[in-house]
Structure 1
Amino acid sequence: MSPVDAIKSVFSQYAGFAGRARRSEYWWFFLFTLILSFIAGILDGALGTSIGSGPSSTGVVGLVVGLALLLPGLAVAVRRLHDTDRSGWWLLIGLVPLVGGIVLLVFFVMGGTRGSNRYGADPKDAPQAAAPSMA
């Protein structure tokens, strides 16, 4: 899955918590979110719209970007857990300091279950445009 397709897929299911998401879809969206947040921080610094002071301060642009990406980020994380045949409620383990984040990282890095599971069909088995035959 190309980066653009992965990001489009997440935004096309903006608040869709049902189904499954491939690793590539999750991680490309994660990288997109990281880059967009970095750019928002630079814009906040350049525009002087930072709220608070220090390296952990946020700004108006960062706040808008964060709010806009919150729901699709949660949705793709839940679908990623579904791909590993886990409930989306596993996201709450992230509230446990240190250990929760490590557990979620392991779940997000793991391969999805092959074939259908209780959350839907395997996203890797989705029909893709067939390449023309050279025969």
Structure 2
Amino acid sequence: MPVIFRSWATLTCESTQTPWRERMDAFLELFSLSGRANRARYIWHIILDDLVVAGMVGVLLFSSFFFLPLPLIAVPAVGIGLAGVWAALAITVKRLHDLDRPGWHFLLLAVPLYNIYLSIVLFVVAGTAGTNEYGPDPLADLYGERRRIG
């Protein structure tokens, strides 16, 4: 009998995988560069990724107060921080895919002044309706079909 798995990304999804495997797939999706991400998912991921990276910087800065050797703290903190940076890069690429742009456009975030424009576009502009070359519409997964306002 298939297991019904409910997540914030889909209302219902029938699966024959175990719940553990479903959660592992969702975790690995954080680091994948394929697919699309809508605005809400992008904003939440960026907030959470920033909190993870800021937490790791805080741990590194305040580790001397706990009299712990720096390598004991630095190695895991740098690893977790790099994973957070990669997850932020991956969600940015997915958001660009939702706007029907190639993922390498994230490099344009390094260009002064254009990075402000691109950041506003990533946060404000709605993704392309329907399926594009990067995958199905992420909002179609939520509502069965795309909802348009106005």
TM > 0.5: yes
Regions of 4+ moved over 6 Å: none
For 1:25 and 1:10, the matched residues in 2 are separated by: 13
Shift of 1:40: 2.0
Matched, 1:104 2:82: no
Give the alignment's Cα RMSD to 1 decimal. Answer: 2.8
Which amino acid counterpart does residue 119 of structure 2 have in structure 1? L
3-state SS of the aligned residue for 2:55? Answer: helix
- TM-score norm. by structure 1 comes to 0.70
| TM-score normalised per structure 2 | 0.64
The SS at the match of 2:42 is helix
Letter aligned with residue 95 of structure 2: R
Gaps spanning 5+ residues in structure 2: where? Answer: 1-6, 10-22, 144-150
Aligned length: 116
2:80 aligned partner: 65
Q: 2 CA distance for matches of 1:65 and 1:14? A: 13
1:76 paired with 2:94, answer no
Higher alpha-carbon Rg: 2
Partner Cα distance (1:41, 1:87) in 2 = 31
Aligned partner of residue 118 in structure 2, secondary structure: helix
Give the unaligned 5+ runs of structure 1.
Answer: 52-58, 129-135
1:91 counterpart (106, 117, 127): 106
| Match in the other structure for 1:56 | none
**What percentage of aligned pairs have identical amino acids?**
30
